[in-house]
Copies of this chain bind each other. A is one copy, B any other.
Amino acid sequence: MSATRKALDNEAEEPTARQEAVLDAVLSLMVEEGDQLTMNAVARRASCSKETLYKWFGDRDGLLTATVRWQAARVRAGRYDGQNLDVAALRDSLKDFAANWLTVISSPTSIALNRLAIGHAASHKSNLGPIVLANGRFAIGERLRPVLEAGREAGLLDFDDPETAFRTFFGLVGRDVQIRLLLGDTLDMSAAEIERDAVRATDQFLALHGRKPSAPKA
């Protein structure tokens, strides 16, 4: 049972601890230096040889892909189960969800990662864009959908299409934050500010899709 198995060409392989350290080095370089993300710099930062990098990840693109996947894997957090269906719990779930999402997209790591993926979407090589999309936008959509549907089942929410409802919530939460951060604007995004934004977005969403529990429909 060797420590490196086959290499991470295919998506399935889990990186070893050492490989994770390398990927963390890539992330830190990406955040600090932005574009000075050369194979030499990675090898230096990770104290490994370029030969090892190519052995493990195939090429530069494979390294970046593995890095995106590695970061995506650790974002998984937050439990938002759709039980306890009263309006306060629903509001709390939505608010926590919004706050968590704002925290993620305003983190330096997320900003650097999205910039990288967007740059790669310009050239048509590799598919970092779809990966980031699948683990960001679409992942949270999937995670929030049960909450929304549970809210609808409980007569607390009113909407036709869960996807459309989610996109409305997404817009109310994110607004112009992500594009401004990606373009280099400096935004407050302190914990207090995020909390305020999350509450506001949640209130607005409930104002649009909340149903008065006057006729709870048995």
Chain A interfacial positions (CB closer than 8 Å to B): 34-36, 112, 114-119, 121-124, 127, 129-130, 132-133, 137, 167-168, 170-176, 178-180, 182-185, 204, 207-208
* A158 CA to B211 CA, complexed, in Å: 22
Contacts of A130 in B (CB 8 A): 183-185
Which chain B positions have C-beta within 8 A of A178? 179
Chain B residues near A129 (CB, 8 Å)? Answer: 183-185
- Which residues in B have their C-beta under 8 angstroms from that of A133? 180, 183-185
Query: Chain B residues with Cβ under 8 A from A176's Cβ?
Result: 137, 167, 170-171, 174
Q: Which of A115, A170, A179, A185 has the most CB of B within 10 A?
A: A179
Q: Which B residue sits closest to A203, measured CB to CB?
A: B208
Picked from B34, B174, B182, the residue with its CB within 8 Å of the CB of A124 is: B34
* Closest chain B residue, CB of each to CB of A115: B122
22 contacts between A and B (CB under 8 A): A34-B122, A34-B123, A35-B119, A115-B119, A118-B118, A119-B122, A121-B182, A121-B183, A129-B183, A129-B185, A130-B183, A133-B180, A133-B184, A137-B176, A137-B180, A168-B204, A171-B172, A171-B173, A171-B175, A172-B172, A178-B179, A204-B208
